[in-house]
Copies of this chain bind each other. A is one copy, B any other.
Amino acid sequence: MSYLGIGVSPGNVPVHHVSNLKVIDKRVRIAELILRCLICGLAVVAAVLVATDSQVKVIFTIKKEAKFTDMKVLVFLVIANGLAAAYSLIQVLRCILSMIRGSVLYNKPLAWAIFSGDQLMAYLILAAVAAAAQSGVISKLGQPELQWMKVCNLYGKFCNQVGEGLASSIIVSLSMIVLSGISAFSLFRLYGKNGGKNNAR
């Protein structure tokens, strides 16, 4: 059980233990960087797809245009994706900076800030995706009991593009959930108590 670093003083830490930790650290940091880049890219794609979507339809000489601002929830989705992209960009820069410096995250306030930011983003983007998906389902299938009619029959191209943006947002939210797990790991292992662990057993 000396593998866990129990009962070792700073003078006699086994070499394989330290190198093992460094390998885990490196892998976690690479996974984090890849996920943050993915989120940044896909969030921009989602925001652009939804925000630039529009379709003009002529019904009995009346010209009608569908825009994303017609549904407040799509505005919310664009804002949430924009925030996720901006946040991820800042985090990518931080990741690269800490990789160049070769420093490891042992700063509790910084770890708390990253953890809180990731959690907030994960819940925000998930809420936006769930709300937009709900509106999407009503648009696609209608809600006959309430006389809310299907609008995707009328604006097929518009709906498809929103669907693509939504699919992209779903990947963003899933990645954000994994990432918030990683930042929870990075934070709470700082509270490890290997010293007391084996004694309590």
Contact = CB atoms under 8 A, between A and B. Distances in A.
Interface of A: 4-11, 13, 17-18, 21, 70-73, 104, 106, 119, 123, 126-135, 137-139, 143, 145-149, 151, 177, 181, 184-185, 187-201
B197 A193 contact: no
Contact of A146 (B13, B104, B139): B139
Contacts of A135: 134, 138
B196 A5 contact: yes
A133 B129 CA distance: 13
Nearest to A192: B192
Nearest to A147: B149
A130 B139 contact: no
Pick from A139, A149, A184 the residue with the most CB of B within 10 Å.
Answer: A184
